[in-house]
Amino acid sequence: MKVIEDSVLLHGKLTEYKFQQIFTDVDVLPFVLQKYKAGEILLHEGTDLHSLLYLVEGKVKATSSVETGRSLLLRFNHPLAIIGDIELVRHVPVQSQITAVTDCLCIALSFDYIYNFEMNNSLFLKNLLSHLSYKLQTSTTASRVNLLASVENRFASYLLSTTTPDNEFGLELQTTNIGEIADLLGTTHRHLNRVIRDLCERGVIEKSRRAIRILDEQVLEEMSQGIRYE
């Protein structure tokens, strides 16, 4: 993590995401810009957290560890997501590991400041409640998917949650670590490879050494049943 001393950038992000509708006098609040590189862990599960983070640039994923040592995928977060809301309200350690999928920029506001000056701010509390309820909704969806959906359904949801438009070539997932994806989806490397091989034979996706490319997004949409990890 790198702290960015850039008042112009900070002011621009506060304006872009309408922080003035949540806080009064945003220009004098002790906000801190924090930059994370792709792959960097923002929060480790079980550690203490001291600041609320607003994701204003990039994409992160939330995972939860299980007794086997694997991690289950909970959701992907995009701006403007709040990280640390449960920890702020419940006074508990970090509940999920948060990892930067791309380079990310966050605006941090210390818990101490919030406890002292913002807990009677109805606009802040309303915004916090909105994010908490959305997080509950997505966690419920992720639990249902992880418990009830087939690996094929889960993989389709994962692909559609993680890929980005790539001009005329459809959608592409830049990854070679199938084992990590298998862990996130709660399955084995071998089972996921069978699913990938089947989808390739059906012409739904195409796999190279460096990437998985979506060839038939409509079929994946039907398989995912409209469910996303986000």
Per-residue model confidence (pLDDT) at position 137: 79
- Could you report the per-residue pLDDT of 166-205, keeping only the tens digit for each? 433 445 555 557 888 888 888 888 999 999 999 999 999 9
Per-residue model confidence (pLDDT) at position 146: 67
Instruction: Tell me: pLDDT of 148 over 70.
Output: no
- Give the Cα separation of 63 and 75 in Å (integer): 7
Structural domain span for residue 110 = 2-147
Q: What is the number of structural domains in the chain? A: 2
User: Quick check: is 230 in a domain?
Assistant: no
CB burial of 130-156 (b: ≥16 within 10 Å; e: otherwise) equals ebeeebeebbebbeebbeebebbbbbb
Asked if the peptide bond before residue 171 counts as cis, ω within 30 degrees of 0, the response is no
- Give the Cα separation of 15 and 1 in Å (integer): 23
User: Quick check: is 203 in a domain?
Assistant: yes
* Structure token pair of residue 71: 């991690």
Asked whether residue 82 falls in the same domain as residue 10, the answer is yes
Asked whether residue 134 falls in the same domain as residue 175, the answer is no
Query: Quick check: 132 and 89 in contact, CB under 8 A?
Result: yes
- Could you report the per-residue pLDDT of 67-108, keeping only the tens digit for each? 666 778 888 899 999 999 999 999 999 999 999 999 999 999
DSSP state of 45: T
**CA 46-50-55 angle, 5° bins:** 90
Asked whether residue 68 falls in the same domain as residue 105, the answer is yes
